[in-house]
Structure 1
Amino acid sequence: MFDACEICGDTGWSVVYEGRIRAGGFGQTYEAGRVGRCGGCGVERLDEACSIDSAAYESEAYRAALGQGLSTEAFFAHADPTQLQNLTALWPLSLRGKILADIGCGAGSFLDHVSGLAAEIIAIEPTPLYRDSLGQRGYAHFAYASDAAAARPASVDIAVTFQVIEHVSDPVGFLRDIHALLKPGGEIVIATPNRADILMTLLPDEFPAFYYRQVHRWYFAADSLRLCAEKAGFTVNEERFVHGFGMANALSWLRDRKPTGHRTLPGIDRTADSQWRAYLEATGQADTLYLRARRPL
């Protein structure tokens, strides 16, 4: 079922989940999901037989299933609201005067937010439609980090890759390509869904069917993501947990067994949301895990 772990090489896997997994938006499911946990590093992996390939992930049909579409406008509508969270997670790094690469940048929402601050921006994105848009807007672009590293080795000050590593077939190889792109002393910021999300604890019988997805091969906790970065040659500086959703989303899950996203509920104000987020971030139960690491000098 599972080959040797791509991160640590261990061959001992235990099945931690079998059942429905998400195949698109809420309610769209694949019935025969299977997730294993590596006995060596603790990372979780979706059985490859349950995964969809990159061509399907990049297709209009899949984006339509998510309610997003593949147009740049649809991408911005989905991605723009998340960029404040990504920018906050970069602190204390400064982008001013730096050469920045965004790996898996989509149509470039994050890049648009920092354009004019970084000295130079490199967009890395496999989807041709998005690359066309990036080129039309003046961004230097490549399909993959390996392409950029071959053309511009050791040239980037800061690399970011938000919600991408969980999709790739070889996460250590993916990070090694970024390592080759960075200058010695250059830094990377990685974001991925946090396997220790509070809802996995509160709703162990319901939430996994939403959390596990056909397009996500990998499910990281802080220790397994740290090991992955170290195997790729990085020195880890910091792990940080950031929660994107307010208390209303958790209450909706508990009451209705479905997400409410960023919609609000009567009686839940910003004070409640800020305290909820602060608690989850302090205890490592937020929905997103960020890791900041450095290519050694």
Structure 2
Amino acid sequence: MERLACSAAATYQPIEAAIHVSRYAGALALCPGKRVLDIACGEGYGAYLMAEAGAAAVLGIDVSAEAVKAAAANFPHPRLQLLAGDAAALDGLLGEAQFDLIVSLETVEHLGDPVGFLQALRRRCAPGGTIVVSCPNDHWYYAPAQQNPYHVRKYSFAEFRALAEECLGEGAWYFGTAALGFATLPIEGPAAGLTGLDHADARQARAAFLCRPGREDAVTLDRASYFLGAWGPDAPEVQGAALFPLSMDRYAAMLRTGDLSGHLATEAAARERLQAALATADAALRGQQQLAADQRAQAQREHAAQLAGAEAALARSTEALRQAEVRLDEAGRRAEQERRLARVQLHALRKENGILAASVARLQAAATEAQQQSAALLDAASQHAAALEAERDRSRQLTDALLDRQGAHDRLFAAHAALLEERAFLLAERERIFARMRPVWRVAQMIPSPMRRGMRRVAGPVLRRIAAQS
């Protein structure tokens, strides 16, 4: 069974409940207080069991939105959150969230990139956390030429271990198989399961022992139902079982009549019929897949051609847009430069206009002043002309007077010349008189001073008269 149906419409199948719950059994003891991630949780029975086991919070993720919706309806729990999403896109779904316990059962066989998935699990695991991953042994369930139509590939134990340890490192390894035994039960006994909801009604046993298998039935990896690996400090503790009780009558009947062998044979025949049907379906599916692949390839080629044309057109449009942007930027720069120049010129014109206005005002004031000065000058010129006329009159009068004076001057000059001649004559006469008097002066020098003073008093008037006459 690919997915355990847990709705009220499904029928309870104890062996399917045991097969599916056994994978979770080993992880339940690790849940108390942990942040748990259950990837490919299906209809949520395992996530619900881990929440019931005491997990602080459980996040269940499944690619089927229908399964997630059914899980939310059938297994509500305050510490359980459910999310529809692809296991191949965990980083996008979870962001930077990390978990103490990560469980992903029967998932890798469905994925095209199991390496990327397992590496994502490692990133999502908190320090000291535990990872539990399982894979079905499809080589036991299907013939070599057959394959589960829901699985991408079949894994042997060696292949699964190599894949997981390449991504997660060395782990603790387990395998799942069928088991028979006995259990001690309460007196009232468990009620029989009826619907798919009872698949999750599993109770943890207080104690159990695993006995050795018989020599006639070797339990080996190649005959296992599934493989399970665990990583982290709690990895050695990840082992468990899921059992369902049988009445002793049923058990005795199985032993007496070989019912168990018949059941197994019936199961084997049913398995063979299922395998044949699956082979037919697989062949048809492969044909459809090949046709779909061819159609996809053709569509991809056409799409690639269209995409190439679109990319070329986009490249041309992008280049044209880039050139337009360059031209626009250049035009913008030129416009900005012109605006700046216009602003500078406008500022200069305004400044020059102010200067011109001031100059005009000064010129107007100067013109007014010049007009006033011109009027004043005209008045002054008129007055000056009148004055000049008066001056000319005076000049004529002066000229006349000068002419008169010139005549008088000439006469005076002639008189002066006569006077000079007369004076020269008198000076000559005085020299002659002085020459004649020098002997007398020398004699007078010999006369005593009192007598000279007396003689001067007598001679002084005489000499002055002589000089006056000269």
- What range describes the TM-score normalised by the shorter chain of this pair? 0.5 to 0.7
Matched, 1:140 2:81: yes
**Match for residue 287 of structure 1?**
225
Amino acid at match of 1:119: A
Read off the aligned partner of 1:122 and give its amino acid letter.
L
Q: Deviations over 1:201-240 (max 9, x none)?
A: xxxxxx50796211112222232222222333x1232111
State the TM-score, normalizing by the size of structure 1.
Answer: 0.54
Q: Percent identity?
A: 20
1:1-297 equivalences under 5 Å are 74=10, 80-90=17-27, 94-116=30-52, 117-136=54-73, 137-138=76-77, 139-142=80-83, 143-145=85-87, 146-147=89-90, 150-194=93-137, 197=140, 207-208=142-143, 212-232=147-167, 234-244=168-178, 275=213, 280-281=218-219, 285-294=223-232
Deviations 1:10-39 (A, max 9, x none): xxxxxxxxxxxxxxx8xxxxxxxxxxxxxx
Return the offset for 1:102.
1.0
Question: Would the aligned equivalents of 2:157 and 2:227 in 1 still touch at CA under 8 Å?
Answer: yes
Is the partner of 2:109 in helix, strand or coil? coil
Distance of 1:242 and 1:111 partners within structure 2: 20
- CA separation of 1:86/1:279 partners in 2, compared to 1, >3 Å: closer, same or farther? farther
What are structure 1's unaligned runs of at least 5 residues?
1-24, 26-56, 58-62, 200-206, 247-272
Which one scores higher on RCO, CA 8 angstroms, separation ≥ 6? 1
CA contact (8 A) 1:102 1:159 kept: yes
Q: Distance in 1 between matches of 2:69 and 2:165?
A: 34
Q: Is the 8 A contact 2:43 2:68 kept in 1?
A: yes
Q: What SS class does the counterpart of residue 213 from structure 2 fall into?
A: helix
Q: Answer yes or no: is the 8 Å Cα contact 2:213–2:219 preserved in 1.
A: no
SS at match of 2:110: coil
Q: Stretches of 4+ moved more than 6 A in 1?
A: none
- Report the Cα distance in structure 1 between the residues aligned to 2:30 and 2:216, rounded to whole angstroms: 24
Gaps of 5+ in 2: 181-210, 234-470
| Higher strand residue share | 1
Structure 1 counterpart of 2:22, which letter? Answer: Q
Deviation, structure 1 residue 172: 0.9
Of stretches 280-289 and 96-105 in structure 1, the one that deviates more from structure 2 is 280-289
Deviation at 1:126, TM superposition (A): 0.9
Structure 2: distance between partners of 1:102 and 1:126: 12
Q: TM-score, normalised by structure 2?
A: 0.36
Residues 106 and 85 of structure 1, relative CA distance in 2, 3 Å threshold: same
Q: Please give the root-mean-square deviation of Cα atoms over the aligned residues, in Å.
A: 3.8
Paired with 2:216 and 2:8, the residues of 1 have a C-alpha distance of 33
Q: 1:283 to 1:181 in 2, by over 3 A?
A: closer
C-alpha distance in structure 2 between counterparts of 1:172 and 1:193, whole Å: 17
Distance 1:69 1:162, change over 3 A: closer
Q: Which has the higher helix share?
A: 2
